[in-house]
Chain A
Amino acid sequence: MAIELTVNGVRHSVDAAPDTPLLWVIRDQLGLTGTKFSCGIAQCGACTLHVDGKPVRSCSLPVTAAAGKAVTTIEGLSPDGTHPVQRAWIELDVPQCGYCQSGMIMSVVALLNRHRNPTDAEIDAEVTNACRCSTYHRVRQAIRLVASRLPT
């Protein structure tokens, strides 16, 4: 069936079975491969993107649930990779293999949108992405760095 999606500000009409996870429509049909597949059961968060500003595990969200809503992927976070979170990530050399980092960054952006200066407990509760290389130490430092720069 035809489904209307707005991804990174661009409207698309995609043809997909209604139960197709948003992740696969984004990756295969729209060619936005920055959002990753890893567990397929909404556990690890590698597929995290935003739907109407909220972080979702797109591997387990039917594409129809995003119809008519604003979807933002890592590719749409900033036109040139200069979102404050991306800049902090570069400054602290956060990624290792990098595979989970698109999802990690999208979760952190959502966190910082809700909490300008998050507590450790808020970070722990809302950044639930898994990173096998373990970049957690630098992720927390980078969140602190971004928070310190946001206007109060």
Chain B
Amino acid sequence: MNNSDPNMVGLSRRDLLSGAAAATGALVVGFWMPQNALAQIIHPEGAAWAIEPAVKEINAWVVVAPDETVTIRIAQTELGQGVWTSNAMMVCEELQCDWSKVRPQYASVNRDGQEMAPEWTLNVMGKGATDPFGGGEPEFGKRGRTGIEGIPNSLYRRMRTNAASSVKDGRYYLQLAGAEARERLLLAAAKSWGVPANEVSSANGVITHRPTDRTITYGQVAPLAAQTPHPNPERIRIKPPSEWTLMGTEQKNLDVPLKVTGKTIYGIDVKLPGMKWAAVKACPVYGGRVKSYDFERIRSEPGVISAIELPIPNPALIRDRVFSGGVAIIAETWYQAKSALEKMPIEWDVPPAHAARNTANMRAELLAALDRPGHIRTNLGDCARVFAGGGRIVEATYSTPYLPRARMEPGNATVLVTDNRVDIWIGDQSPQETRYSASQITGIPEENVYLHLCHLGGGYGRNGNGPQAEQAIYIANQNRGTPIHLLWTREEDFVGTTYRSMGVARLRAALDADGWPIAIEVRTAMDENAPGAIAAFDKTSRYYTPNYRFSNHNVAFHIPVGTRRGVGEPAHDFYRESFIDELAHAAGKDPYRYRRELIARTNLPYKADMIKALDTAAEMSGWGTPLPQGMARAIALEERGAEGGGMATISAAVHTVSISKQGDLRLLRVAIAHEEGFGLVNPLSVRKQIEGQVTWFYNDAMHQECNVAEGRIVENNFDRFPLSRIGENPPEINITFFKTGHWLRGMGHDRATSLQSGIADAVFQITGKRYRDLPLHNHDLSWG
């Protein structure tokens, strides 16, 4: 570090550290901000960690300033899902402050790791998923450090951003946080006036003493409220949906003005005084490492400072996934580092068994696994007896490819390690796990690891980030005192990410004389480490059959697998809904009515909601009305959690597709009937999420796949891994919401999965060709 740099003054001034401030009960800054020139360098108006006014917080979520601005701490990462807005809405609903004065800010990750959650957030009120007055069924405390929660009962309850759970898990305690703060503001006002607390009430940030019409603002009373404990916080109640006034309304996302001016600070935009850049090349065959590299060949390239060999990141720090070893080049600018790295000769030491892998032999292994016994998940009735009895059998085998998230912002992290402290600037969906990694890699205690959240340029699956942070921490630890900004090329991002597993499924049904299934057997195979193996099929069939068997036949591959948007649901939805289409066709029945009847025959707790979704989508689409030649409609059910009586998300969609005789396919219309459960927090964000997932699963259906050759991923940039553009987007996306009697399971990841089966079935209807492997761009769609 160059200590003569005047900008570096800020780096030694730690007086604003969140930990120290929290210990004194004084101003709590969720983020430490370097001073002087650095403030200009990183655009403070776009930074998530803007400096707060010097006011005491009321509770960990709420700070009210004298100018009446209300800072609401956000403990999830904004990656396009609108969490900066929806989380703030849940607090504001109960706080009854002026929404126009609300300013979201990232919560302090370090503080989350040091302080325990307030007692009043620990108990979930109410009777679970079907109680509108309750907190639903948030998932806490089921696992330890690397589990869902991160650190059990940490201050903000949950700092992860995953599983479409920010509303599902966070609603009750965010509403509580707003209510606790409001009640303390009211108590403080009553105290300052010397009147009974039950004579004061508030609206829009103004407290009124009703008998005398005296008023005082939140900003005026906030300092006293900060010193006024709640006498009985266990009695705080939250509003049910029938009383919501802000929640449930369409609110524009609070950070959009930053996003249209280029001011949002993503991880890639972080710039620190004295910072150096790192470019990385890891062995493209997972599990491989560096055999040799020749730094001397590039040492004199412009800007080049040093080279560092990277070991295979400790799998224990990355959810037991094995990535690769590699080399980093450190240089003055990233372009210099990357250019030099490209010229440096590197030899890899590759596990031969991994290098022998390719798409064809991996798929063959998966298919072979389907014929082995497998792990029986569900076995109702006696499928074997029915199939042995003959009758009409329908069987189909489907397959889906490896798929990455391919978020637009390539992996990156900025890390500064000094002798007793680590600072990390990163867009991260699991910040506590990254803090833990930093502590393990550097040997510096975790309480001295400060992680500063940045907005993320796309998410789509929490653990897809791979070792971006671990690599950067490793490099910075070797360069203590110098901030290191690691940035992957797009190609490297394809090496550093996890993938949704390649998968296959064989579904078999026996039909009775009327075409209804009397037995359904489902066998799926994918990587044994892949999450979501039980999705869409577990416990009971969503479509009635008296005999039902579901088994996993998973195998071990070397490609690191993880959560990608929807986790297990998208591929399994494709298998299930495609097969129902095939059964309906074999039965000579309308696929909408076939589904409807089979759902009606079940005992599923939410079958009325499922039928409502189908009916509504069918009606929206003009189901049954004639279409010109070359056009078709397809319908499908989407659900998560419909097998139980807990939280669930249910929708149905009809897709209208045209295909020219030359095989040019167009998605013309999407009609989605979607439940809102007891209520959506921000219906505008939900609409946007659904619109986004329409394109996401259109891409999965039509374009996207990653193949394996010689053990490495073949498609590693947007030339070979295409992203659809605006011209392919459907001209019409119609969404209808309908209320149901339970809380939702989540909105951000497995909606519109029906694009896959829907397009495939439309192809069959128009061309007569049934393709069971995605993506469809591998097939000739011409007809006539």
Contacts from A to B (Cβ < 8 Å): 17, 20-21, 24, 28, 31-41, 43-44, 46, 73-75, 77, 81, 86, 89-90, 93-102, 105, 120, 123-125, 127-140
Contacts and interface: CB of A to CB of B under 8 A. Distances in A.
Given A28-B333, A39-B717, A34 B263 contact: yes
Contacts of A32: 262
Contacts of A41: 490, 717-719
Given A89-B260, A97-B457, A102-B262, 11 more contacts: A32-B262, A34-B262, A38-B410, A41-B717, A81-B260, A93-B256, A97-B458, A99-B409, A132-B406, A137-B694, A137-B730
A98 B259 contact: yes
B726 interface: yes
B262 A134 contact: no
A77 B719 CA distance: 29
A33 B46 CA distance: 11
B723 interface: yes
Interface in B65-91: 78-82
B268 interface: yes
B260 A36 contact: no
A99 B266 contact: yes
Interface stretch (B5-13, B634-642, B684-692, B737-745): B684-692
Contact of A93 (B78, B79, B81, B684): B684
A139 B259 contact: no
B733 interface: yes
A124 B727 contact: yes
13 contacts: A21-B335, A37-B410, A39-B490, A41-B717, A81-B261, A95-B259, A99-B457, A124-B726, A124-B727, A134-B691, A134-B693, A134-B694, A138-B691
Contacts of B268: 33, 36-37
Contacts of B333: 24, 28
Given A31-B271, A81-B257, A43 B335 contact: no
Contact of B718 (A97, A127, A130): A130
B421 interface: no
Contacts of B379: none
Contact of B726 (A44, A75, A136): A136
B701 interface: no
Contacts, number: 174
B460 interface: yes
B692 A134 contact: yes
A66 to B, nearest CB: 15
B269 interface: yes
Contacts of A44: 408, 718, 723
Given A41-B719, A134-B691, A124 B262 contact: no
A123 B729 CA distance: 12
Contacts of A20: 335
A1 to B, nearest CB: 11
B460 A105 contact: no
A24 B691 contact: no
Contacts of B214: none
B264 interface: yes
Contact of B719 (A31, A37, A43, A102): A43
Contact of A127 (B459, B692, B726, B733): B726
Nearest to A98: B259
Interface SS majority for chain B? loop
B260 A132 contact: no
A100 B718 CA distance: 14
A47 to B, nearest CB: 11
List the 7 closest A-B pairs by CB distance, nearest first: A34-B262, A99-B457, A124-B727, A97-B80, A134-B695, A96-B80, A98-B259
Among B82, B264, B456, max chain A CB count under 10 A is at: B264
Contacts of B253: 93, 95
Given A41-B717, A44-B408, A140 B257 contact: no
B407 interface: yes
Contacts of B335: 20-21, 24, 28
B696 A74 contact: no
Nearest to B41: A31
Contacts of B80: 95-98, 133
Nearest to A85: B260
B723 A96 contact: no
Contacts of B457: 36, 38, 97-100
A89 B718 CA distance: 26
A46 B258 CA distance: 16
Contacts of A86: 260-261
A48 to B, nearest CB: 12
Interface string B680-714: 00001000110111111000000000000000000
Interface in B237-254: 252-253
Nearest to A95: B259
B43 interface: yes
A41 B723 CA distance: 14
B257 to A, nearest CB: 6
A20 B512 CA distance: 69
A98 to B, nearest CB: 3
B408 A75 contact: no
A147 to B, nearest CB: 15
Contact of A101 (B259, B265, B459, B691): B259
A36 B696 contact: no
B156 interface: no
A110 B727 CA distance: 17
B235 interface: no
A86 B259 CA distance: 9
A128 B728 CA distance: 11
Q: Which of A32, A33, A34, A138 has the most CB of B within 10 A?
A: A33
A93 B688 contact: yes
